[in-house]
Structure 1
Amino acid sequence: MLTDKELKTLNEQVYQVDPNYKSKSQKVYTNKADDELKERERNRIRIADNTLKVISVRNGKWGFQGMAVAPVKGGHVDYSQVTVVAAGTDPSQPIDLLEALDAATDIGSLQESSAEQFVQDIMENHPNWKITQLSGYSQSSYMLKVGAKFHIPTTVFNGWFQYGSLSKKEKEFMKSHSDWFINYRKKNDSVTVWNDFNSEFFNSEDYGTIVWLDGDSHDLADWKFDKSGMVKLPKSSAMTADRIKQSQTLLNVKFSQAMFRLKYLRANFFESGGGLSSSEKIYLDSAQALAIVSTARVEFNLALSKVMKLYQNGIKEQEKLWEETVREARELGDYLEDWEVYEALEEAGFTHEAIVDTPTQLYQHKIRQVKQTSEKFKSLEHEIKGKISELVARDKELAQQLKSS
C-alpha cells in the first residue's frame, strides 16, 4: 500500500488527466502503451524511489478526473496493488466550483457517481486487478463514500465531505471498519469551514475517521510527513486530549495497514512457492509480533502521558494543600511565631513530610515504574527488528521477494 506522502503526491498529479488542465503545454497522464504516447503524454509517475504505472484514467461528467495506478516492480506492473485517486476542485473550472458547493450538503457531490462508476468499471473489466486503496482531496473526499460502498481502505486530505450523504449500509460498514478510513483535516481550514464549520459538533457523525490537526491551510503542499511516510503530528510537551485522540486514530490506521500488508505478503508467498518456507513463516510471525508490540508500546505511552499528568497534578495538589493550610493557620494565630505555627501543625500530624514529601516520593516511584515498562516495550521492539533484519540478510530469496512486493 502507498504511504500518506505518496498519496498526497498522487492527489497533486491527478488533475493532469484533464488535457486542458492549466496549460496545453503541460504533459498529461494517460494509460496508453509506451509506443502509443504522444509528445504531451506520459504514463508513469515517479515518487521518490518508486515508479507507478498509470493503468486507467477517466475524464468524466461533472468535472470528474480520476486515475488508477499500480507499482512497477522488477520491470513488471503489480496489478495486485492498485490505487485509485480522484481530483479535487479545480478553481479554473466553473463546474468544479458548483460541485464543491454540492459537496457541502447531504446530497453530496455529483462527481461521486462518476467516481463510483470509474471504480466499478475497473473491477468489472479487470477482475485480475485488486484495488487496495482510494484517495481524494478537498471535495473529492467523496472517495470515502466510494470506499464504504466497495469496502476499500480510503485516505483523504482536507475532506470537504458530509457523512450524512452515506447510505445506511455505507454508514454501517464505515462504523464497523473505521480504521479503514481516514480524513486528515485542519481545525482552521478556511475552505472546509463552510462545510461543517470545522467542528465535530456541527458535522454529522464521522465514525472516528477525522483526524483533527492544528493549522489553517487547505494546501496539500503544507502536509508534513514522518520517516515512514505517515502524516506527522506536531511535537508538543503536553499530550492534550485532542492530541491523544489523534494519536490513537493514526495508530489504528498504521496497525490496520501493517496487518493488510502482512496479509498481502502471505498471499504472495503462497503464490510464489505453493506454501510457506521456514524463513517466510518466521518473517510473517515476527512482522506480526512487531506490529503488535509497536502498537502496544505507543498505546502504553499514550496511557503513560495520562498517568504522568495525573501524578504531576497530584504533586501540585499536595503542595497547594500544604501552603493553604499553613496560610490559614497563620491567619488563625496572628500572635504566633512561624515556628509555633509549624509546631502546632506537627502536633496534629500535619507536617511537610507527611503531606508533600511522602506522597511525592510515591508518585515519583510510580512514574519510574511506568517509564521502565515503556523502556521494556522499546527494547523488545528493537530486538524483534534486529531479528527480522538478520533473517532477511541471511535469506536472499526472501529479501528479493520483499523487495518486489
Structure 2
Amino acid sequence: MATERDYNVFADEAYQIDKARAKNEDRAPLLKGDILEGTKLSQSYIVLEVADNNKNGMQAMAVAPIKDGIADTSEIIIAYAGTDFDDKLDVLTDTTTIVGGDVNLSIPQWWSAPKKIDGQAISAQKFATSIKNSYPNAVITTTGHSLGEYLAIYIAAENQWKNTGFNGPDPYNILSDDAKKWIKENPGLLANYRNNYDKIGNFGGNKTGAAILLDVSKGGYNPAKSLDYHGLSTWQFDKSGNLVAPGRSSRDSRLAQMEATTRYQLWNLSVLSNKLRKNHGGLSSSEEIFINSREALIVVNGVSTMMQDGLNTVIKEYQQAINEAEALWKETVERAQGIGMDLSYEEVMGALASGGATQANIVGETTAFYEQRIASAKQMLEEYTTLITEIQTSIDQQLVKDQQLAKDIQF
C-alpha cells in the first residue's frame, strides 16, 4: 500500500509529464513504461499510462508498484499535475473551473468568438475511466498537488475512490449530486493536506470535508514566503513514509492512515460483494466465505495496528516517567549541593533523607512501579500478537479453500 510520502512523490512527478515544459527544460518528459524509484519511495513503481492534453493543459499518469519484477496492477495510483504558471491553459483552468465552477474552457480566438472545449476536469475523468476499464480489478486511488489535487479529489469523489493529496482547492463546486452524497456518507476517504497559511490551497473552503489543516510554517506567517506555503517540499515524513507536522505525531499519522485505509478496504469489499450479487443474483457459499473472511481480516489488521501502537505508546510513556524520576533526583541533589556549599556530599544526602527525599523513594520506587507495568504491557502485546496471528491463520485457511475465487477477484 502506498505511503503518504509515495503520494507526495507522485504528485511531484506528475509535473514532469508536460512535453512542452520538458522541451523548455531540455529534458525527457515522463513516459509510459518509465520506472519511478529512489529513497523517497517505499518501493519501485512503473508508469502504466500518461495523458498530456495540449488542448486544455491536463496532465496525468497512472502508476503501479513493481512486485517480483512485474507491475502489480491490483493497486493503481492516478496522479494529476498541478498548475504550471507558465502554461496559459493551466491558469485559465484555475480561473474558469476552480474559481468559476465551469468544467468547460473558453479558448480566446482573435478572429472569432471564444472556442468552447472540454476542460481539465472532463479530461481527468476520461483518463480515470480509461484506467478503470483497462484494470477493472484494481483498487484505484488518486493524488495531486494544487490544481492536481483539486482534480484528484473530484475524480475520487465521482468514482468513489480514496484520495491522498496536497494543497488542493476544494472542488465541491463541480461535484455531481451523487458524489456529494457519497462523500457525506463516507467521511475520511479524502485526505487533502493543507498548510494553514496557504492562500492558494485553502481556496474554496472545505465542503468536501477532505481538508486536513496543519501548520508547517516553522515560525508563523511570513508574507514574503506565501508561495512557499503552497509547495510540496514543505511536507515532512518519517522513515516509514508517514506525514508528520507540529501537533501531529508520527503515531497520529500512522493511525489516521490506517483508519482511512481500513475504511477504504471495507468500502471496496462492499462494492465487490454487490458486484458479485448482481452477476448471479446472490453469493455462492465460497464467495460468502471469501467476503466474510476478507472483511474479518481487514478489521483484524486495523484493530491490530491500533492496539500495537497504543501499547507501544504506553511503554514509551512509562519509560519516560522513569527517566523523569532520575532527572528529578539529579536536579534535587544539585540544588541541595548549591544551597549547602559548605557541606560534604554525605551531609547533603543526610539532610535530604531527613526531609524524606532519598534516591530510593524518588527513583527506586518509581522505577520498580513502572518497570512492572512495562513488563505487563509487553506481555499483553505479546499475547495480543499471538492472538492476531491465530486469527489471521484461521482466516487464511478459509481463503485457501477457494484459491481460484481469490485469484479471479484479485482483491
Shorter chain as normaliser: what TM range?
0.5 to 0.7
Is residue 286–residue 384 contact of structure 1 (8 Å, CA) maintained in 2?
no
Cross-structure match for 1:114: 119
Residue 67 (structure 2) aligns with: none
CA distance in structure 2 between the partners assigned to 1:193 and 1:9 by the alignment: 21
Which residues in structure 2 correspond to 1:168-183 (within 5 Å)? 174=183, 177-183=186-192
**1:172 to 1:213, Cα distance in 2 relative to 1, 3 A:** farther
Contact 2:58 2:81 in 1 (8 A): yes
Among 211, 232, 254, the residue aligned to 2:241: 232
Does structure 2 retain, via aligned residues, the 8 Å contact 1:179–1:209? Answer: no
Confirm whether residue 338 of structure 1 aligns to residue 332 of structure 2. Answer: no
Alignment match, 2:259 = 252
> Is 1:146 aligned with 2:146?
no
2:48–2:61 Cα contact (<8 Å) kept:
no
The CA deviation at 1:323 is: 2.8
TM-score by length of 2: 0.61
Q: Deviations over 1:375-397 (max 9, x none)?
A: 33433333333334433444343
Secondary structure at 2:142 match in 1: strand
Pick from 295, 299, 320: which aligns with 2:327? 320
Code of the residue aligned with 1:95 in structure 2: it is L
How far apart are residue 366 of structure 1 and its match?
1.9
User: Does the aligned pair in 1 maintain the 2:11–2:148 contact within 8 Å?
Assistant: no
Secondary structure at 2:241 match in 1: coil
- TM-fit CA distance, 1:155: 2.0
Gap change, CA 1:273 and 1:318, over 3 Å in 2: same
Equivalent residue number for residue 300 of structure 1: 307
- In the other structure, the counterpart of 2:386 is 379
Deviation at 1:356, TM superposition (A): 0.9
Give the alignment's Cα RMSD to 1 decimal.
5.8
Query: Is this contact kept in 1: 2:163–2:191, CA < 8 A?
Result: yes
Q: Which position in structure 1 is the counterpart of 2:200? A: 195
Rounded Cα–Cα distance in structure 2 between residues aligned with 1:365 and 1:385: 30
Superposed displacement of residue 209, structure 1: 4.2
Q: Percent identity?
A: 24
> Distance in 2 between the 1:51 and 1:339 partners?
72
Structure 1 residue aligned with 2:69: none
Q: CA deviation at 1:254?
A: 1.1
1:291 to 298, 303, 308: 298
The one of 82, 86, 94 aligned to 2:88: 94
> TM-score of the superposition, structure 1-length normalised?
0.61
Q: Return the letter of the residue paired with 2:88.
A: P
8 Å CA contact 2:97–2:104 kept in 1: the answer is: no
* 3-state secondary structure, aligned to 2:119: helix
Given that residues 66 and 87 in structure 1 are in contact (C-alpha distance below 8 angstroms), is that contact kept between their aligned partners in structure 2?
Answer: yes
1:401 aligns with 2:408: yes
Distance 2:236 2:409 in 1: 29
Q: Pairwise mapping of residues 204-243 of structure 1 onto structure 2 (< 5 A)?
A: 207=209, 209-210=211-212, 232-233=241-242, 241-243=248-250
273-282 vs 129-138, greater mean Cα deviation: 129-138
2:57 maps to: 63
Aligned counterparts of 1:241 and 1:136: Cα–Cα separation in 2? 21
SS of alignment partner, residue 241 of structure 1 = coil
Partner-residue secondary structure (3-state), 1:163: coil
Q: Deviations over 1:127-176 (max 9, x none)?
A: x999985635222211255258647334254x342239758988897576
| Distance verdict in 2 for CA 1:108–1:142, change over 3 Å | farther
Structure 2, unpaired ranges of 5+ = 37-43, 65-74, 106-117, 218-227
> Partner amino acid for 2:283?
L
Alignment length (residue pairs): 358
How far is 1:357 from its partner? 0.9
- Alpha carbons of structure 1 residues 165 and 269: separation in structure 2 relative to 1, 3 Å: closer
Map Cα deviations across residues 10-56 of structure 1 (whole Å, 9 max, x no partner).
9967997x997867xx9999xxxxxxxxxxxx9x99998999799xx
What is the Cα deviation at residue 243 of structure 1?
A: 2.1
Aligned equivalents of 1:2, 1:331: Cα separation in 2 = 56
How has the CA–CA distance of structure 1 residues 285 and 331 changed in structure 2, closer, same or farther, with 3 Å as cutoff?
Answer: same
Secondary structure (helix, strand or coil) at the match of 1:179 reads coil
Match of 1:162 in 2: 169
Cα distance in structure 1, aligned partners of 2:97 and 2:316: 39
Counterpart of 1:33 in structure 2 is none
SS at match of 1:63: coil
Partner SS for 1:350:
coil
Moved more, 386-395 or 357-366: 386-395
